[in-house]
């Protein structure tokens, strides 16, 4: 079997960083950057379309970085849905394991992300409904593969000029497991069970994030802009309250007898237990909205 012909590369400096990309990708122009990588727009002369080229930052610096790189590459490769970003190409300039330090991913170029859109304009109810519909539609596809995104936020939702939305950034996504890690998702959109270090959370953490995003689209401001974990939980309880007596009766744990009913008491209590598995969902996990229920609440199928 003949080996695939290696493409020719060229070098270009972008924001004081050297990029090495195949000749087919021309007109590199910086779009944005974050903790895990930088993105440039480019023209794919072979396919005749505009693309986004993402250069991962230090993809193999640590085991955590390597896992993130592997997850994003593996999941993007298999995602084929109009509301989920898909992988067009992946490449590296390395010819040996010792030189393997850079990874580039190529996807469709989208317009602005929701974060920028919310800052620039007030959305109509029709716009919000259509955007949330697309988020939940894409999320249903992701969840059908037993994958939790774990980092849904306006900055990870791209929208083009036709208001078509795609879910981005699968660096934190992973298959469901018996035990999950706690440090995922941007705090403002993070479900309470993640903040309370409950290691058995499931896909419903993404539904929580969608609810936070929907509220932000409707009001133009962040729903729970907590400054830290305790402040975040305080804001959540100020809005949704604490469990009522009927719910507490369903919880078998002895801890329910000391569970605070007032918000000020909650904060004092949470400071002592936020590192332990005392999440109310640990004892009554059926409370969280599932995708099907969320769809029914949105009156969509």
How many angstroms separate the CA atoms of 166 and 190, rounded? 20
Taking the whole predicted model, whether its pTM rises above 0.75 is answered as no
Question: φ, ψ for residue 138 (rounded to 5)?
Answer: -65, -35
Question: How high is the pLDDT of residue 27?
Answer: 95
In sequence order, the 6+-apart residues with CB closer than 8 A to the CB of 29 are 40, 41, 42
Q: Is 79 helix (H, G, I), strand (E, B) or coil?
A: coil
**CB atoms near residue 246 (< 10 Å):** 7
Helices 263-273, 229-240: crossing angle, 10 deg rounding: 140
16 annotated as a binding-site residue: no
Which of 143, 253, 130 is CA-nearest to residue 198?
A: 253
Domains of the chain: 9-108 (3.30.200.20), 114-297 (1.10.510.10)
Question: φ, ψ for residue 150 (rounded to 5)?
Answer: 75, 0
Question: φ, ψ for residue 210 (rounded to 5)?
Answer: -60, -40
Taking the chain (301 residues) in runs of 10, the rounded mean pLDDT of each run is: 72 91 95 78 94 86 82 82 91 84 89 85 91 96 87 90 86 42 64 77 90 92 88 88 76 65 53 45 51 53 38
Catalytic residues: 169
Q: E-strand spans in the chain?
A: 9-14, 17-22, 25-34, 37-44, 49-56, 87-91, 104-108, 147-148, 157-159, 165-167, 174-175
Question: How high is the pLDDT of residue 270?
Answer: 47
How many angstroms separate the CA atoms of 199 and 203, rounded? 13
How many angstroms separate the CA atoms of 192 and 190, rounded? 7
Question: How high is the pLDDT of residue 4?
Answer: 65
């Amino acid at each position: 079997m003949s080996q695939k012909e290696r493409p020719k590369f060229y070098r270009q400096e972008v924001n004081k960083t050297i990029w090495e990309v195949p000749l087919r990708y021309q007109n590199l122009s910086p779009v944005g950057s974050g903790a895990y990588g930088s993105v440039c727009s480019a023209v794919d002369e072979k396919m005749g379309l505009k693309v986004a080229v993402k250069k991962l930052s230090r993809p193999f610096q640590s085991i955590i970085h390597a896992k993130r790189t592997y997850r994003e590459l593996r999941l993007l490769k298999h995602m084929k849905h109009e509301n989920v970003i898909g992988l067009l190409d992946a490449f590296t300039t390395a010819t040996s394991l010792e030189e393997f330090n850079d990874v580039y991913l190529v996807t469709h170029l989208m317009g602005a992300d929701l974060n920028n859109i919310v800052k620039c304009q007030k959305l109509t109810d029709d716009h919000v409904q259509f955007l949330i519909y697309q988020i939940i539609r894409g999320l249903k596809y992701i969840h059908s593969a037993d994958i939790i995104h774990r980092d849904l936020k306006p900055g990870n939702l791209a929208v083009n000029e036709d208001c078509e939305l795609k879910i981005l950034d699968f660096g934190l996504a992973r298959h469901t497991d018996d035990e999950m890690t706690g440090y995922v998702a941007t705090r403002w959109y993070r479900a309470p069970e993640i903040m309370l270090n409950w290691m058995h959370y499931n896909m419903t953490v993404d539904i929580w994030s969608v609810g936070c995003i929907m509220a932000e689209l409707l009001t133009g401001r962040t729903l729970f802009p907590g400054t830290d974990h305790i402040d975040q939980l305080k804001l959540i309880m100020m809005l949704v309250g604490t469990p009522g007596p009927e719910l507490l009766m369903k919880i078998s744990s002895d801890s329910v007898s000391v569970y605070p009913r007032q918000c000020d008491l909650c904060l004092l209590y949470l400071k002592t237990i936020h590192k332990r598995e005392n999440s109310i969902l640990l004892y009554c996990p059926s409370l969280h909205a599932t995708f099907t229920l969320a769809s029914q609440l949105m009156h969509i199928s």
